[in-house]
Structure 1
Amino acid sequence: MNAKNVTLSEYLKKFFGFSTFKGNQEAIIQNVLDGEDAFVLMPTGGGKSLCYQLPALILDGTAIVISPLIALMKNQVDVLRSLSMDDGIAHFLNSSLTKAAINQVKEDLLAGKTKLLYVAPESLTKEENIQLLKQIKISFYAIDEAHCISEWGHDFRPEYRRIRPIIGEIGKAPVIALTATATPKVQNDIQKNLGILDAKVFKSSFNRENLYYEVRPKVGATREIIRFIKNNLGKSGIIYCLSRKKVEEMAEALQVNGIKALAYHAGMDSNTRSDNQDKFLMEDVDVIVATIAFGMGIDKPDVRYVIHYDIPKSLEGYYQETGRAGRDGGEGHCLTFYSYKDIQKLEKFMQGKPVAEQEIGKQLLIETVAYAESAVCRRKMLLNYFGEVYEQENCEHCDNCLHPKTKFDGKDDLLLALDVIIAVQEKFKADHVANILVGNASTSVKSYKHHHLELFGCGSEKDVRFWNAIIRQGLVLRLIEKDIENYGTLMLSPKGKEYMENPYTVMLSQDHEYEEGDDDEASGPAGNKSTAADEEIFALLKDLRRKMSKKLNLPPFVIFQDPSLEDMSIQYPTSMEEMQNIAGVGAGKAKRYGKEFIELIKVYVEEKEIVRPQDLVVKSVVNKSGLKVYIIQSIDRKLSLSDICEAKNIEMNDLLTEIESIVSSGTKINIDYYINEVLDEEKQGEIFDYFMEAENESIADALKELGETDFSEEEIRLLRIKFMSEMGN
């Protein structure tokens, strides 16, 4: 086939079986065929790879595709080989190949069979590979994931900076740089570094209309995630965590709650990792919990939700990761949990890095905070970040648009902010401008003598947070711009200068104030203590406990203690499984006493038409290496309690607390062998009889009744453990 008398559409049909191109694909491919350089900005799912695959198949010679992703290389080579009778049509060259495989690649390249050669940047720099590539005809160079060139990109790789000189050494050919995410600053960096400032630029819209963006406060996040997944059963999803440890913990928490989930991170051996990835692609599991290493180049079109347990380090990272949802144009829910504590953690990780790198990282984090806390349309914020204007007032597909915050006339505030930006000669960043507005003489403000400005403190009735929000909304409105060369420096746009001449009313939104909290606060059954208990059901449960205690001739607290009844009156357990997750209950107690309580709650819930929060009870992961397991095993082996304390380096007081906790959750424990050593029969009998008649389990009351001179607190605690275990479990 000759490129001159066959249309591109015919080539598309012949090689890939598609009838039409998507978006800018045809224009980009034509540009490559014409021997021109190109910069391609195309969001995830837009069909980037076709832009270099098709021209490579059409043109004479071999296209060199530089990519950092070994999994993606293999994936694409397999696809291309399936289109041809000859496996030599596509190869990859990276550290995973054996010597024999490398020889085969060389043979096919020199024989002119290979149309596409995928190379990792590290492999490209090897002298033997440079010499090999000098011997073949190169049709063009495609630099995939080109944002890796820029320190401002979310995945900077220093070896990408060496691509241009190596290309110069191998031999001149057109260059096409492709990326799914790049701000104007990153784009400029890429073009400058690759020496393609005159390249034709092809930009596709960053707007993914089918994606729903939502940010929630990070309080009880594990519980929230489990509830969310159970409401979306059978759908594929990805959960991103920043640390490998959290990935493992989250995957385990999902598994114990009956969710088909697996972990994926760089610390796992490569076989397990690729097995887990395949199980996700083949739908043997619904959820992958991963660090950001997962998903790049994975073409699974029906991921229905992407959850960020930890907020990413940059908005570009966030956009690329959320972009893995709904690639088929169907539903895609992007849920992020945000706490400012996470931002502070990320700032700590930057310490010790070069100052320039810290500065960049800090600025990228500021953008992330702005996105999370802003009450402006999320879509508008994201597109603005990538230099695109979103005209609609309400996207109707993000939490801020569906649940708008109160608006106020921000004309005067905007004018003040613009005045200060001009007063500092458009050479400073948002936090510096905000500090001047509130009258905060920070080190930076003092060093530039800006605390002597006439405008210093002109907005002191509001805080820094408020002024940062005003500046952000000024950016979205295109009244303020960021200088591309000095990322983060604020300047007035022509529109902003015009606004100062002829100001008009602008309705702005108040930012979110997210409540602070740890995920662990609400991850276990006791995490709901702040919720008000239902007093009516609490009284009914106490009444039932009293009746049962009379019937069984047991003190009421042996059956269930008050905190357990309180938790029942918050969570309304209506099954044995739910009852086991009530604070201080556990499997043993639930089976022994739970049935009648469950029946009572069921009737109450139906009569009162109570809507229970779905899946409120989340099973917590048992710490298999934990202290409790060790204690139970040691007591089974009749190990002295003092020996257990020594082995685990804990006080007797703490050990007794652990044993009490084990017993109160329904596990039967026999410490007679130890009690008989330290207490005579008469003393044991007295304490045991006391608890049979007692109205509560209080140690203080027992000491008062039995006499502090005759009995110690430790002795009473030991006998109370024996009593609760024998009578209650």
Structure 2
Amino acid sequence: MSESCARVLKQTFGYTSFREGQLEAIEALFNGNDCLVLMPTGGGKSLCFQVPAIVFNGLTLVVSPLISLMQDQVQQLRLQGVKAAYLNSSLAAEDAAQVNQDLQNNDLDILYVAPERLLQSYFLNSIKHLNIALIAIDEAHCVSQWGHDFRKEYRRLGELKQSFPTTPFIALTATADDATQADIAHQLNLKTPFVFRGGFDRPNIRYNQLAKYKGSDQVVEFIKQQRGNSGIVYCNSRAKVDELSQKLSKSGISNGAYHAGKDTTERARVQNLFLNDDMQVVVATVAFGMGINKSNVRFVVHHDVPRSVEAFYQETGRAGRDGMPAEALLLYDERDAAKIKKWIADGSTPDRFEIEMHKFEAMQSFSEAQTCRRQILLNYFGDSRLEPCGNCDICQFPPKMFDGTIVAQKVLSCIYRLRGETSAQHVIDVLRGKNVRKIFDLKHNELSTYGIGKDESDQYWHNVIQQLIHKGLIRIDMTLSGILRLNESARSALRGECKVSLAVPKFKVSSAKKNKYEPSNIDTKLFAKLKYLRKQLADESGMPAFTIFSDATLAEMTAKLPSNKTDFLDITGVGEVKLEKYGQAFIGLIEDYLAAQ
């Protein structure tokens, strides 16, 4: 069995060895056991059911939540020579009829279906006589009451055990804490499952955080550092998505807006342009991403803080799926955090309030961290690491601390003297001595704090205010439109009875140091030519470029310079079908490039 799986792994998928946990899960399935597999996004979860699907004598059913995810995976499998199909509402009647005929004729190895279709009695009756060798539940966290809110049919998938009592099940997810893992196994009625908990670390992603101030400008500046690479920007509201999308367009950045308020045609247009590398950035709410298997997303930005670490991890995990360097940027503002806490308080049922608040407070702790961000992130999932990662903003650019007692006293004294008119911006306007009508109407220009901070920028004082909120000296009162109030602990700071240590404000992501996982042996000129060839071939075939070869595979070509089919087959990600289809084109380009040197 192991030899058959290793042969399929190389000949079909182009990999020479399994990653940790993959073969163990496959062996458990061959022994008739159920499995629960937790691996990070890009960690190789799909191979845990795709390899046995080819080796097994019978059909593998894959329950997948989104049409785009089905289409993407089936397209890639067919490109690798696998007999795969999907059934969903996007298919024309004649195409659906052909899939059903192939299904009844046992001409498929893998069939992707949505939970709604699979649970319908007519469909279950139509496949009961078939040899169902394996059932895979992808994005299995959607099953759990403790996971992300999703579709009720996902919660009913445990009923399948009644129809297929002897068929092994494999549930797969990248996002599940201990409670969610246990609940997945319970909800799906998994029988003493083999459980593989892979590490949650995505070492190629560099995590960055900035205090948000004029967030749209910060996003534009960050994207312009990305040299045209693909990325996703997440916002918490549809209005912000539309506003930021317009800002990016005015700044010359090719982008599209994606949220549930857009019609289906427009969402599909934006998604397809992005998948085909004809659009650099998608600005979206959380409605975008779960079905996106695009391996060459190089950055993810959160313009607004997510509501949970799980959401942040899943969304940032859409970058760097190919293992190549990727960037994650979180813009954090205490006012955003206060709004979310109010939403949770106003919108949660009593039994969900504590859970939702705990999840957000964990996200807040990550956002305010002054120690290695990856350690905090992994610790949340129980994947503790003793050493700092060396590939986050805290590790690469440790905060520079200074005695900020006097700086803090200026802010605290100003808030005290304003006595209620204390929005953060108004505090800053008074500190900087601005010629603003509101200040003069309220006679705040007569305060002793007027103009005492004129030597620093708005951005500087905004950052200092956020740090003082972190330290508990100031709080945000959301019951009064988010005004600032002094906490009792501010008294001792105002009196100079305690030292206030602050970090030197940081306003942009530094490009002084490369991502720790940046390959050192890439010929950038050849890499660009290979990407251009890949895009030409993809356009001719009407498919996304990354489905032909990943960026990681192209990078390996620039390092190994394959000159014949045998060498080309040794490149990671090159299987026999892709060798025959694309090998000569890429080998010829490399030969021409070397000849011209």
TM-score, normalised with respect to structure 1: 0.53
Structure 1 residue 144 displacement after superposition: 0.5
The 10-residue stretch of structure 1 (97-106 or 34-43) with the greater mean CA deviation from structure 2: 97-106
Aligned to 1:370: 365
Deviation at 1:382, TM superposition (A): 0.8
**Cα deviation 1:249-308 (Å, max 9, x = unaligned):** 111011111222221223323332222222223332221111122222423333222110
Which residue is 2:377 aligned to? 382
Match of 1:31 among 14, 22, 28: 28
Match for residue 202 of structure 1? 196
Q: Which residue does 1:153 correspond to in 2?
A: 147
In 1, Cα distance between equivalents of 2:164 and 2:508:
62
- Match of 1:212? 206
**Structure 1 counterpart of 2:240, from 232, 240, 246:** 246
Shift of 1:203: 1.9
2:11 is the counterpart of 1:17? no
**Cα pair 2:236 2:285 within 8 Å, conserved:** yes
Amino acid at match of 1:8: C
> SS state of the match for residue 396, structure 1?
coil
Query: Which structure is higher in RCO with an 8 Å CA cutoff and minimum separation 6?
Result: 2
CA drift at 1:174: 0.5
| 2:178 counterpart of 1:184 | yes
Query: Residue 110 and residue 311 in structure 1: after superposition, are their counterparts in 2 closer, same or farther (change >3 A)?
Result: same
Q: Distance in 2 between matches of 1:358 and 1:218?
A: 27
Partner SS state of residue 383, structure 1: helix
Any conservation in 2 of the 1:147–1:179 contact (CA below 8 Å)?
Answer: yes
Q: Any residues of structure 2 matched to 1:303-342 within 5 Å, and which?
A: 303-342=297-336
Please identify the structure whose Cα radius of gyration is greater.
1
2:80 pairs with 1:83:
yes
1:361 Cα deviation after fit: 2.0
Instruction: Quote the Cα distance in structure 2 between the aligned partners of 1:352 and 1:208.
Output: 33
* Alignment-derived partner of residue 57 in structure 2: 60
Structure 1 CA distance, aligned partners of 2:177 and 2:36?
13
Task: Please give the alpha-carbon distance, in whole angstroms, between the structure 2 residues aligned to 1:97 and 1:210.
Answer: 37
Q: Secondary structure at the match of 1:91?
A: strand
Please, what TM-score do these two structures have when normalized by structure 2? 0.65
**Secondary structure in structure 2 of the residue aligned to 1:7:** helix
Is it true that 1:107 corresponds to 2:101 in the alignment? yes
Question: Structure 2 matches for 1:101-500, cutoff 5 A?
Answer: 101-196=95-190, 198-350=192-344, 351-392=346-387, 394-401=388-395, 402-404=397-399
CA gap of 1:115–1:336, structure 2 versus 1, over 3 A, is same
- The alpha carbon displacement at 1:195 in A equals 2.2
State the Cα distance separating 1:241 from its structure 2 match.
0.7
CA distance in 2 between partners of 1:74 and 1:274 (Å): 13
**Counterpart in the other structure of 1:688:** none
Distance 1:133 1:354 in 2: 41
Matched, 1:45 2:39: no
> How far apart, CA to CA, are the structure 1 residues paired with 2:287 and 2:37?
23
Once residues 614 and 91 of structure 1 are traced to their aligned partners in structure 2, the CA distance between those partners, rounded to angstroms, is 46
Gap runs ≥5 in structure 1: 408-515, 534-565, 572-612, 616-729
1:607 aligns with: none
Call closer, same or farther: CA 1:32–1:203 in 2, change over 3 Å.
same
Q: Secondary structure at the match of 1:311?
A: coil
CA distance 1:160–1:215, change in 2 (3 Å): same
1:177 Cα offset (Å): 0.7
Aligned pair in 2 of structure 1 residues 406, 390: CA closer, same or farther (>3 Å)?
farther
Give the Cα–Cα distance (whole angstroms) in 1 for the partners of residues 39 and 281 of structure 2: 27
Contact 1:61/1:138 (<8 A) preserved:
yes
Q: Which residue of 1 aligns with 2:502?
A: none
Cα 1:405–1:135 change in 2 (3 A) is: farther
What secondary structure is seen at the aligned counterpart in 2 of 1:135? coil
Letter in 2 for 1:216: L
- Are the aligned partners of 1:134 and 1:171 in contact in 2 as well (CA < 8 Å)? no
Cα displacement (A) at 1:171: 4.5
Opposite residue 42 of structure 1, the aligned amino acid is M
Deviations 1:124-147 (A, max 9, x none): 221211211222111011010001
SS at match of 2:156: helix
Shift of 1:123: 1.4
Distance in structure 2 (CA, Å) of the matches to 1:157 and 1:35: 29
In structure 2, the partner of 1:642 is: none
Task: Give the residue type in structure 1 aligned to 2:41.
Answer: T
1:41 Cα deviation after fit: 0.5
Secondary structure of 1:131's partner? helix
Cα deviation code 1:433-457 (max 9, x no counterpart): xxxxxxxxxxxxxxxxxxxxxxxxx
State how far apart, in whole Å, the 2-side matches of 1:80 and 1:614 are: 41
Contact 1:216 1:336 in 2 (8 A): yes
SS of the counterpart of 2:208? strand
Is the 1:25–1:47 Cα contact (8 Å) retained in structure 2?
A: yes
Distance 1:229 1:153, change over 3 A: same
Match of 1:503 in 2: none
Q: CA separation in 2, counterparts of 1:78 and 1:396?
A: 37
State the identity as a percent: 42
- The answer on whether the counterparts of 1:347 and 1:362 sit within 8 Å (CA) in structure 2 is yes
Q: Contact 2:233 / 2:281 at 8 angstroms: preserved in 1?
A: yes
Counterpart Cα distance in 1 of 2:458 and 2:211: 22
Which runs of structure 1 show a deviation greater than 6 angstroms over 4 or more consecutive aligned residues? 527-533
CA 1:31–1:42 in structure 2 vs 1: closer, same or farther (change >3 Å)?
same
User: How many residues align structurally?
Assistant: 419
- Describe the superposition over 1:657-700 as per-residue Cα deviations: whole angstroms up to 9, x where unpaired: xxxxxxxxxxxxxxxxxxxxxxxxxxxxxxxxxxxxxxxxxxxx
Render the CA deviation track for 1:524-581: whole Å, top value 9, x for unaligned.
xxx9998799xxxxxxxxxxxxxxxxxxxxxxxxxxxxxxxx9xx999xxxxxxxxxx
- CA spacing shift, 1:406–1:531, aligned 2, 3 Å: closer
Distance 1:101 1:234 in 2: 37
Tell me by how many angstroms 1:384 deviates. Answer: 0.8
Structure 1's 126 and 379: CA in aligned 2 closer, same or farther, altered over 3 A? same
CA distance in 2, matches of 1:531, 1:230: 30
- One-letter identity of the residue aligned with 2:212: K
Counterpart pick for 2:66 among 51, 55, 69: 69
Q: Distance in 2 between matches of 1:517 and 1:47?
A: 48
Please list the CA deviations of residues 349-398 of structure 1 after superposition, one character each: whole Å capped at 9, or x if unmatched.
Answer: 44355332334322221221122123232111111111111110x32222
Equivalent position SS for 1:215: strand
CA contact (8 A) 1:303 1:326 kept: yes
Pairwise CA distance, 1:180:
0.9
Are the structure 2 counterparts of residues 528 and 237 from structure 1 closer, same or farther at C-alpha, using a change threshold of 3 Å?
Answer: farther
In structure 2, the residue matched to 1:427 is: none
Residues in 2 aligned to 1:95 and 1:183: alpha-carbon distance in whole angstroms: 33
